Chains A and B, each alone.
Chain A
Amino acid sequence: MSVQNKINQQFPTAQIEEKPDRLIISINAESLREFALMLYNEKDFRFDFMRSLTGMDWGEAGFGVVYHLESTDNKHQLELKAIIPDREKPFIDTVSDLWKTALLNEREVYDYFGIVFIGHPDMRRLYLRKEWEGFPLRKDYVRAEGLDMSNEEPDDTTVTWYRDEKGIPQARRYNLFEKEEYVVNIGPQHPATHGVLRFRVSLEGEFLKKLDVYCGYIHRGVEKLCEGMTYQQTIGLTDRLDYLSSLQNRHALCMCVEKAMGLELSERIQYIRTIMDELQRINSHLLFFATFCMDLGALTSFFYGFRDREKVLDILEETTGGRLTMHYNVIGGVEDDIHPNFVKRVKELLAYLPAALEEYRKVFTENVIAKNRLIGVGHLSRENAISFGTTGPTGRGSGWACDVRKRIPYGVYDKVDFKEVIRGECDSYARYLVRMDEIKESMRIIETLIDNIPEGNFREKTKAVIRVPEGSYYTAVEASRGEFGVYLESNGEKLPYRLKFRSTGLPLVACVDTISRGEKIADLIAIGGSLDYVVPDIDR
């Protein structure tokens, strides 16, 4: 039975809109729970992967939550809009028990919109401090005067909401950590968190009992900022999310706007963007190798990784002018044509890298200590990977074919032959090996494309003021560490009505608690390194 028939049959009130790539279904928040259970459990189309969860403020129509769902088996795409008409008391049921990625995402929505998820075990703010007044992404939000510069009091209590017998939502407070627990802060300033991320870790000797993630130390409110910018201005913010996927992030946003406008791009642009994305992936994975080795105490390998990454950066710098936040993709193409040396230097890099990778294999991959530290550590099962939405090399290390380049090809990925690296061991070592093998696959892609870059425009003409037709759009690319999605809701104005970025890092951080319980502190560092999150991408 098709998805549509099934829904029509069971939920006649649901509004269904059919788009070429997905179904858009609007329902009332009251029937969300039932609807979600049906989508999750129905055998014919098991929607087990939640790509994105977005909070919305539709003004008069009330608040809403938009769920992007995919079924990993038969690739159905679905966009579910749950509308909460009551603006005064916005309540909605949680789906975090079905899709665990909602655990942090629902907290984010609560943080931005004040929508309370009933049944969510931990309804705290995610990014903003708990004294923050109001919910900033509401359209009627007025910022309080002045800044609160006082110190935040540590507080280990949280709140969860439930319905009493009459069906009225009630709050219940409880403690996250008991007084007698030995709780250690890993972060926010800690060498192994790769940025300002904070874990509160409860220890039993060397063993980890429980872990609680604190985000928001580098939160800049990018999504809020975007609502006050023109489309050309918003692309400048995307490089600063995951700074090791800056080209790919920008690619996603540009592609989303271009698709919405119906802009056709020349072959040359597609080729350049694809090559650049792959160079960026090599760059990111080399940095992963370096920092991962450093986390495990192999400092020499750290320098090897950085030495070779430098060569990639030099090539990128020559063409884009940047080394970290590269302003290259623009709406309608790329900023400038590739540098005359580009092709030659990329070929030199391709000739150089295999020897470097062989060196990594000798010094680290095959090292007996490294193997002992990694094999079997941080087991993330395939079910959990899908449920948490840990896309990218982390998901593929758990045997889940989640590569956007294969699932929904973009650029010229459908024209090149490359292998999606998948391993079934589900541990830190598998995640590490996937990344090492992906470097080789990226090299293969570049090798195929580099000689065949067709002539053409490097930038299509666009109007000075871009207006996107009314509607909602979701586009994703395979960034260095997973699916980076852009959800755009436009009302036809020159400013986006709502722009949401699907973070690649948030699901990775969400799963740390599950996979590191019962392991040792040293394993937590190895697990964190193998997940390879980038903090500005989590906090946005």
Chain B
Amino acid sequence: MFDFSKVTSGIHTWLSEYLSQGLAIFIECVAVGVAILALYAIIAIIMIYMERKVCAAFQCRIGPVRVGPFGVFQLIADVIKMLIKEIVIISHSDKFLYNLAPYIVIIGSVLAFACLPLSQGLEILDFNIGVFFFLAVSSIGVIGILLAGWSSNNKFSLIGAMRSGAQMISYELSIGLSVLTIIALTGTMQFSEIVAMQSSGWLLFKGHIPAVIAFVVYLIAANAECNRGPFDLPEAESELTAGFHTEYSGMHFGLFYVAEFVNLFIVSAFAATVFLGGWMPFHISGLDGFNRVMDYIPGALWFFGKSFFLVWVLMWIKWTFPRLRVDQILQMEWKYLVPIGLVNLTIMALCVVFGWHF
């Protein structure tokens, strides 16, 4: 398996030869930042294209086909359209907060994105409380949404934002509990170590029953966390027209839109990392030959393959189910998912104490 850290440390030594230590690190930081943003944008484009094609397939349509082969350039055209559209500043709004809101959403999203280990040695933010940091920054987004709803001075936006606040803060709990279940098993919160632990088998299999329950709970809660159907109440188009981003136009709307799609990727990639081994190939302990063959497939391919598979599952759910109602969403969280999560955590703790896991 190719270790990407050789490349990064090589660049670092090469830069250090010519530049002072501080300058070298500064240049590296800028380069990494640019790379993250570029990757973020590329994933956003892939996600939007995928959403269109997947949803078209579910709905007996064909999706975009006119611009370029299979309509792949449709997205480029859409991005250009979005970039050159006028940003309408509405009167009677809180201008500062109104303009700030989309950036808060996107900052939270990019920071969370930076935590994900893409391949071996290709970790950007990797420290001992990585999972904790991930959960913290990914919940910054709700502040942006609340601000957007409040500052637009629109009744629909405000209702959408309040729904969003109630929903995201509630489901944060389930996400925390299901992740905690896995942390209990791994004993570490560092992403690179969690992935390394899975070289002898993915945690979903290692932790068996409690891990599977945690996985399912996580998928449901993560779907709600992304405001995606059937939990898309904050922007329920048939009730609130567009919810919290009703009053946004141009690239401000574009930022919300992109953040929503990349958030879907991020929660899927997180699930892939924590439950399905991240970039770690499919290993069965004992079968060394099989494991070596699996190692020939690059880590990044494993990572993106698993992530996009989960994205596809979530899209499947979205395009099948009708929308829940606000009280039903909260009922589901507080009456079902949280108790299940707590009991599940206890089971996992017992499993770890008595060594009932693989």
Q: Which residues of A contact B59 (CB under 8 A)?
A: 299-300, 302-304
A295 touches B325 (CB 8 A): no
Within 8 A of A (CB), among B19-58: 55, 58
**Given A184-B155, A184-B156, A297-B229: A191 and B237 within 8 A (CB)?**
yes
A303 touches B61 (CB 8 A): yes
**Given A363-B320, A369-B321: A297 and B326 within 8 A (CB)?**
no
Minimum CB distance partner of B61 in chain A: A303
**Given A297-B230, A303-B60: A370 and B238 within 8 A (CB)?**
no
**Given A293-B322, A297-B323: A372 and B61 within 8 A (CB)?**
no
Within 8 A of B (CB), among A18-33: none
Q: Which residues of A contact B194 (CB under 8 A)?
A: none
**Given A192-B239, A297-B229, A525-B238: A367 and B322 within 8 A (CB)?**
yes
Within 8 A of B (CB), among A342-393: 363-364, 367, 369-370, 372-373
Stretch in A105-113, A406-414, A439-447, A515-523 with 4+ CB within 8 Å of B: A515-523
Q: How far is the CA of A417 from the CA of B348 in the complex (A)?
A: 63
B322 touches A364 (CB 8 A): yes
**Given A190-B241, A191-B237: A297 and B232 within 8 A (CB)?**
yes
Cβ of B236 under 8 Å from chain A: yes
Q: Which residues of A contact B155 (CB under 8 A)?
A: 182, 184
Q: Which residues of A contact B163 (CB under 8 A)?
A: 206
Q: Which residues of B contact A372 (CB under 8 A)?
A: 324-325, 328
Cβ of B327 under 8 Å from chain A: yes
CB < 8 Å neighbour of A299 from B156, B319, B326? B319
Interface size band for A:
20 to 34
Q: Closest CB of chain B to A517's CB: distance in Å?
A: 17
Cβ of A433 under 8 Å from chain B: no
Interface size band for B:
20 to 34
Q: Which of A184, A296, A525 has the largest count of B CB atoms less than 10 A from its CB?
A: A296
Within 8 A of B (CB), among A188-210: 190-192, 203, 206
- Chain A interface, >50% SS class: helix
Q: Closest CB of chain A to B332's CB: distance in Å?
A: 10
Cβ of A313 under 8 Å from chain B: no
Minimum CB distance partner of A294 in chain B: B238
A520 touches B241 (CB 8 A): no
Q: Closest CB of chain A to B280's CB: distance in Å?
A: 35
Q: How far is the CA of A294 from the CA of B328 in the complex (A)?
A: 19
Q: Which residues of A contact B232 (CB under 8 A)?
A: 297
B319 touches A300 (CB 8 A): yes
B326 touches A369 (CB 8 A): no
Q: Which of A203, A299, A302, A372 has the largest count of B CB atoms less than 10 A from its CB?
A: A299
- B152-189 contact mask (Cβ, 8 Å, vs A): 1 or 0: 00011001000100000000000000000000000000
A521 touches B320 (CB 8 A): no
**Given A299-B59, A300-B59: A369 and B239 within 8 A (CB)?**
no
Minimum CB distance partner of A298 in chain B: B322
A522 touches B319 (CB 8 A): no
B236 touches A206 (CB 8 A): no
- A288-323 contact mask (Cβ, 8 Å, vs B): 1 or 0: 000001111111111110010000000000000000
A522 touches B236 (CB 8 A): yes
Q: Which residues of A contact B236 (CB under 8 A)?
A: 297, 522
B239 touches A300 (CB 8 A): no
A373 touches B238 (CB 8 A): no
Q: Which residues of A contact B159 (CB under 8 A)?
A: 184, 203, 206, 521
CB < 8 Å neighbour of B323 from A203, A296, A302? A296
Q: Which residues of B contact A299 (CB under 8 A)?
A: 55, 59, 319
B238 touches A520 (CB 8 A): no
- B229-256 contact mask (Cβ, 8 Å, vs A): 1 or 0: 1101100111111000000000000000
Q: Which residues of B contact A203 (CB under 8 A)?
A: 159
CB < 8 Å neighbour of A304 from B60, B238, B321, B328? B60
Minimum CB distance partner of A301 in chain B: B322
Q: Closest CB of chain B to A160's CB: distance in Å?
A: 28
Within 8 A of A (CB), among B63-121: none
Minimum CB distance partner of A190 in chain B: B241
Within 8 A of B (CB), among A255-314: 293-304, 307
Q: Which residues of A contact B322 (CB under 8 A)?
A: 293, 296-298, 301, 364, 367, 369-370, 373
Can you offer 15 A-B residue contacts whose CB atoms are under 8 A? A184-B155, A190-B241, A206-B326, A296-B238, A297-B232, A297-B236, A297-B321, A299-B59, A300-B320, A303-B61, A369-B322, A370-B322, A520-B326, A521-B159, A521-B239
For the complex of A and B, 10 pairs with smallest distance between CB atoms: A297-B323, A298-B322, A303-B59, A296-B322, A192-B238, A522-B325, A295-B238, A184-B155, A297-B322, A300-B319
Sample of 20 further A-B pairs with CB below 8 A, known A521-B159, A522-B239? A184-B156, A190-B241, A192-B239, A206-B159, A296-B238, A297-B230, A297-B232, A298-B320, A298-B322, A298-B323, A300-B55, A300-B319, A300-B320, A303-B60, A363-B320, A367-B322, A369-B230, A369-B324, A373-B325, A521-B239
Interface, chain A (partner B; CB < 8 A): 182, 184, 190-192, 203, 206, 293-304, 307, 363-364, 367, 369-370, 372-373, 520-523, 525
